[in-house]
A and B are shown apart, each in its own frame.
Chain A
Amino acid sequence: MSFWQWMKYRPTPSSQPKKGNRPQQIIPDRYMEQHSEELLTGSLDEARHFIQTVLGDNDDLITREFVIFGQFKAVLIYFINMIDQEVTNNDILKPLMIAPPHYVAGTIELQQLKHVLLYETLYHSMSKMENKLAAIVDVILRGQPVIVVEGLDEAIIVGAAKIDKRAIDQPLTEQVIRGPREGFIEQLGTNITLLRYRLPTSDFTVRSKKVGRVTKSRVAICYLKGIANDALVQEVESRIAAIDIDGVLDVGYLEQFIEDNHLSPFPQIQNTERPDKAVANLLEGRVIILVDGSPFALIAPSVFTQFYQTTEDYSERFLMVSFIRLARLLALVFSLVTPSLYVAVISFNPELIPTKFAVAVAGGRAGVPFPSVVEVLLMEMSMEVLREATLRLPQQVGGALSIVGVLVIGQAAVAAGFVSPITVVVIALTTIGSFATPAYNAALALRLLRFPLVFFAGMFGLFGVMVGLILIVNHVLSLKSFGVPYMSPVVPGNYEGMKDTVIRGPLWWMRRRPAMFHTPNRERIDEGVVDTLKQTPHNTLDPLKVGNARWEQPDGISKASDNDSSGSNSH
């Protein structure tokens, strides 16, 4: 026995059986795989034995024996807490025990039984027959009760699963002032319902897939036939089909497998919690990917301009929205370049800023012991820590923490001569800028990238900042999401698409769907609509016309002598 083995040696307690004596441990999943083709034979005991071997160790597996119509032995197998008790009692067990009135008890033949059960007895709308044992186990695991009857070579599956879910409520990450309040929840079924409710069209298609060796998560790929490009749908499907992982707990897992550039800090697939946003994207020809258990939907393909747009933009007046989008873009730029510009100007080119202000800045920095790079990096780091802390803490503590943080960083640090007041302003501007970006992951990317920019600024001043920015922009320009260039429709330029970038054109301007998704059906708004809009509107309630009728009687044309000042011919 070598030293290493001796270290690992643990004397086995004598009560445990030795390895050789222990019966072969059955791993249920592998056992099922080996017996995946095994069929029900009609023998109740055999079926029960199979299910017991696979699921027998679970104490929450219930096997309820009963007799159908007083004639046939049967068992109801299910996981407690996963089924709807009431439905099981009233709609499954009760009708099964009492024979239908037009049959005399005890006279039903075995050949008839299947028909009688499925078509005349079970009230539940979702019942079907299944003869593969592995499939039956699978169904039990999904929470549906299964009825196995002695003598029948098929088991009855009843869709009476009831898994608790939270109510649909407002999406927390994407708040809007004007717009629907519904958000996706964890259940895939509910999420698809939310989409179907908004898209009562036969074009809306949901393709289902299973991903995850252990979690077997259901993945739904949703698209609009005739609007989404077929090749895109196929590509999405094949990328998802290629995934082999043990568990998919959130849609983010999928995102990382199907995106184009895995090393880029920029998100190439957007996610959303809002069904209305998902539908809007479906209408543009994109594909939506949902996973059971995740309240987020993936939107593929995505381009950069999407990350500063919100659904609300399309319901407000276009002028205001264009202005707001400009502000968001500004915030985005702020969050990326403000600290590095500050460092570059202060430490290399103070002659750029007006003299009076430069003196003020120098005065503020008089007692600060560090060079401005270190100062900014320090503050940025503490801001990141503070942000993360506020995010993770329970809400009650979070408020207190943010007050402490603001006080410590804003006031005390300056008073202590640790940082200069201007730095605090710069950091605040940066942080607020990054919070104003609607897409959290895009904001995160820019927040990360400002650190290398600050380094560059500290080393090479404005020259370094430009070099850093060029590197970032070059990278962004080389990105693609499912073949769509990331900066489209700006580069490569597309006039039609540019109506919905920084400015949001009026809806009737954007007559066609974005060209970058190569949708087979580009017409969004009929040409006639624009003509209708151009006509002078009917002034239905013009006081001149309306005022001419009184008590259902025409009152003649208003005379010029009338005192109606609002009419055009009143003078």
Chain B
Amino acid sequence: MEYPKQVTTIQAAAILISTVIGVGVLPLPLFAVRSANTGAPLVTLLAVLLSSSGLWIVTKLGMRFPHQAFTQYSEIILGKWPGRIGSAIVILFFAVLSSLAAREFGEVVITSVLKKTPLEVTVILMLLLATLAARNDMTTFTYINHLYLPIILGPAILIVALSLKNANADFLLPVWGNEPREILNGVLIIAALLQGSFIQTIVIPAMRKPQNAMKACFWGMFIVGFLYITIVIAAVGVFGPEETKQLLWPTLELAKTTTLPGNILERLDAAFLAIWVTAVFTTIFSSYYLTIHLASRLFGLRDHRMLSLFVVPFLFAMAMTPQSILQMYQVIEIVGKFGLLITIVYPLLLLLVASVRKKRGMQDGG
């Protein structure tokens, strides 16, 4: 057997959730408000639906080939070389995605807590953390994502719940936004934040019951979507659409405005950010793991450990390429929108070709 069949349905959902929720949550309300001011929750909902449909395609594809890796079945469907080129682009994209996540969080850290620390240090620390963890096998990958799930969800829900008492429902009306101009753009940008869901391509072959993959995806996406929308509602409800546009990381500001009852901690932002390291770690870790996992399949390596060390310098160089935080967000938007082609359109193409050519992986009962 090629993969250890270990991952249960709950664990698959946990991997999905902890992968998708990451550093993208911090600027999320800003992206949403920019495109549709008071219609921000609606935009987020649309984005979640868009990326859910993308995930549906990926899962359908994965369930069609429940025992093969993404690289293998894309070769089967498209033929050897086109498939390989497609996989190489996917790998490259996720390498860029993980390096950008590391860079983005590095920026967050040096801007808000470690003001004297050089950016390189925080970026490389996050990358090394992911590298060391990526040396583990699929089982440990699952366990790590599973264990960190409550640590990720807990604080996010807590912050949202505590801040809602300051929220003003008027800020959210009208629901469709005041003359929104860039709804499509906003939907694409936010859907790009959810691209981590592509991790399902390596999770499905390792699932104990691949036929339950759809269930895992549904629940995972449901929880992620719920959290995304509530965060947007909370941020816009507390700050209002115009104020939110002025904030670089509205979610972090949300943490600043909230206090725990009883004043145990005066401010929550530093604590929130500290705990958010876990969420960012799981995101980088997952896309990193996806990268080297698929790469080792593509190159026909038996072990992905060597690769994990080999890739770090490249990721670091890519992470440090954007000159400033503004340029970084421009790059993230471009790369993200381009990535939708890879994570939604390309699988759709594969699925269509596969059903036309009637390609199908080995099926079995378990």
Q: A-side interface residues toward B, CB under 8 Å?
A: 348-349, 351-355, 460-463, 465-467, 470-471, 473-474, 477-478, 485, 487, 490-493
Contacts and interface: CB of A to CB of B under 8 A. Distances in A.
A466 B275 CA distance: 7
Contact of B267 (A352, A491, A492): A352
Interface in B115-151: 117, 122, 125, 129, 132-133, 136, 139-140, 142-144, 146-148
Contact of B113 (A349, A470, A474, A493): A349
Nearest to B121: A460
Interface of B: 6, 8, 10-11, 109, 113-114, 117, 122, 125, 129, 132-133, 136, 139-140, 142-144, 146-148, 263-267, 270-271, 273-275, 277-278, 281
Given A471-B132, A487-B147, A492-B11, A352 B271 contact: yes
B133 A460 contact: no
Contact of A470 (B10, B264, B277): B277
Nearest to A349: B270
A492 B125 contact: no
B146 A493 contact: yes
A492 B278 contact: no
A354 B10 contact: no
Contacts of B109: 463
Nearest to B262: A354
When A and B form their complex, which 3 residue pairs have the shortest distance between CB atoms, in order from nearest? Answer: A462-B274, A466-B277, A349-B270
Contact of A461 (B113, B132, B142, B148): B113
Given A463-B274, A492-B146, A493-B10, A348 B113 contact: yes
Contacts of A466: 274-275, 277-278
A323 B114 CA distance: 38
Contact of A354 (B139, B146, B266): B266
Nearest to A479: B140
Question: Which residue among B6, B11, B277 has the maximum number of chain A CB atoms within 10 Å of its CB?
Answer: B277
A161 B312 CA distance: 66
A182 B37 CA distance: 73
12 contacts: A352-B266, A352-B270, A354-B266, A461-B270, A462-B273, A467-B125, A470-B277, A473-B144, A473-B148, A478-B136, A487-B147, A492-B11
Question: Which residue among A462, A463, A465, A492 has the maximum number of chain B CB atoms within 10 Å of its CB?
Answer: A463
B143 A487 contact: yes
A473 B147 contact: yes
A568 to B, nearest CB: 46
Contact of B274 (A465, A477, A487, A490): A465
B117 to A, nearest CB: 7
B129 A471 contact: yes
A477 B113 contact: no
A353 B146 contact: no
Given A352-B266, A465-B274, A477 B122 contact: no
A477 B282 CA distance: 14
Contacts of B125: 460, 467
Given A460-B114, A463-B274, A491 B143 contact: yes
B147 to A, nearest CB: 5
B281 to A, nearest CB: 6
Contact of B146 (A465, A471, A491): A491
A492 B265 contact: no
Nearest to B10: A493
A474 B146 contact: no
Contact of A474 (B136, B273, B274): B136
Nearest to B276: A466
A410 to B, nearest CB: 27
Contacts of A354: 263-266
A348 B265 CA distance: 15
Nearest to B108: A463
Nearest to B281: A470
B267 to A, nearest CB: 5
Contacts of B142: 492
A493 B146 CA distance: 9
A468 to B, nearest CB: 10
A41 B146 CA distance: 70
B135 to A, nearest CB: 9
Question: Which residue among A351, A354, A462, A465 has the maximum number of chain B CB atoms within 10 Å of its CB?
Answer: A462
Given A461-B114, A463-B109, A492 B122 contact: no
Given A351-B270, A471-B129, A487-B147, A492 B114 contact: no
Nearest to B117: A460
B270 A462 contact: yes
Given A352-B266, A462-B274, A470-B277, 7 more contacts: A351-B267, A352-B265, A462-B271, A462-B273, A466-B275, A473-B148, A478-B140
A287 to B, nearest CB: 23
Contacts of B267: 351-352
Nearest to A358: B266
A158 to B, nearest CB: 56
B270 A485 contact: no
Given A470-B278, A490-B147, A348 B114 contact: yes
B308 to A, nearest CB: 13
A355 B266 CA distance: 8
Nearest to B275: A466
Contacts of B139: 485
A96 to B, nearest CB: 66
Contacts of A462: 113, 270-271, 273-274
Contacts of A355: 266
B147 A477 contact: yes
A463 B278 CA distance: 10
Nearest to B6: A492
Contacts of A473: 144, 147-148
A363 to B, nearest CB: 18
Contacts of B275: 466
Contacts of A493: 10, 146
A425 to B, nearest CB: 17
Question: Which residue among A354, A460, A491 has the maximum number of chain B CB atoms within 10 Å of its CB?
Answer: A491
B114 A470 contact: no
Contact of B143 (A349, A463, A465, A492): A492
A99 to B, nearest CB: 73
A344 to B, nearest CB: 8
A471 B125 CA distance: 11
A467 B275 CA distance: 10
A478 B138 CA distance: 10
A461 B271 CA distance: 11
A59 to B, nearest CB: 60
B273 A463 contact: yes
Contacts of B277: 463, 466-467, 470
A338 to B, nearest CB: 15
Contacts of A478: 136, 140, 143
B163 to A, nearest CB: 18
B200 to A, nearest CB: 19
A44 B113 CA distance: 88
Given A460-B114, A460-B125, A466-B277, A477 B270 contact: no
A485 B114 CA distance: 36
Contacts of A492: 6, 8, 11, 142-143, 146
A538 to B, nearest CB: 44
Contacts of B266: 351-355
Contact of A463 (B114, B132, B146): B114
Contact of B147 (A352, A460, A491): A491
B36 to A, nearest CB: 34
Question: Which residue among A478, A490, A493 has the maximum number of chain B CB atoms within 10 Å of its CB?
Answer: A478
A485 B143 contact: yes
A355 B271 CA distance: 16
A474 B278 contact: no
Nearest to B137: A478
B282 to A, nearest CB: 9
Contacts of B117: 460
B3 to A, nearest CB: 16
